Amino acid sequence: MLDGDFRYYVLLIIATFTWGASWIAAKILVALAPPFTIGFFRFMVASIFFISYLKLTGVSFRRLVTRERLRWLVLLGLTGILGYGILFLVGMQFTTAAQGSIIAGFNPITISIFAHLIHHERLKRRWQYTGFATGFLGVVFVVGVQSLLDFRLEYLIGNLIILGAMCVWGLYSSIAKEAMKTMTPLEANTGAVLVGMLLFGIGAIAEQPWMFVTFDDINFWWNIFFLGAFTTFVGFFLFFVGIEKLGATRAGGFINFVPVFGTALSVIILAETIYWTFIVGLVLVILGVTIINYPIQHKE
């Protein structure tokens, strides 16, 4: 580890910590309010931070509302914000934060799969494709093997929904790659969050959020603020600083910390039980992601 890069490693660890902690915040929130209501308030908080930062950087908001960019922003909002967000929250109504965060570690693999299917991206070495099988085997341990040992239908349903959320995020990432040919990551994320907030708001109206007495609970608002300000905005900001300073490959490796933090925090904060199948699954998922992202040195 280079001394000059140490600060960026710290920033990336903070970013992945907020993402890991999001599973605990979500588990707490789904017991207090329905998913569309949670999503609306989360992204309302996030949009305030994104718009403020957009203005601080001197970027005109009008750049987001051109016809070409609106098309991309709607697609990003439908997939990465609404699609992923609703599956994430509904899944957490059934499963545990520990299981959800371990399955989330499969996320880089779904991104690679969609990049292969849509953009025809190839890994540099054939042996790296074993990473897909290794990571999927890890998910099987969490979703399947644990179900055979201690079957709980609600966990199985929730884990499959979370796995679906990872697939939606993989699709979103491929759409984002195309969208960011015409806009910056900050512009794309700001626009997507705004579109997603509006879509969540439509669903929230049907849930009648004003009827919930949980709005008097500081626990609700603190976790909403954490998801909106820290997970969505701060995590995004710090991760892209890491990408800018260290490169996408080195920064991307830190995503392996997300399931580690999520699992550890689920034990510390929620007192969830961790079975041996979870540990095996966690190790296999991290190993799979590492194999896929293993740096290949080209000989001159």
Give 71-108 pLDDT, tens digit per residue: 899 999 999 899 999 999 999 999 999 888 888 887 77
Predicted TM-score (pTM) of this structure: 0.84
Least confident range from 55-64, 103-112, 120-129, 253-262: namely 120-129
Residue 92, both tokens: 């957490």
Higher pLDDT, 13 or 215: 13
Banded model confidence at residue 2, pLDDT cuts 50, 70, 90: very low
| Cα–Cα distance, 249 to 137 (Å, whole number) | 23
| Residue 300 reports pLDDT greater than 50 | no
Cβ neighbours around 208 below 10 Å, total = 10
| Residue 291 reports pLDDT greater than 60 | yes
Banded model confidence at residue 168, pLDDT cuts 50, 70, 90: very high
- pLDDT at res. 234: 92
Banded model confidence at residue 283, pLDDT cuts 50, 70, 90: confident
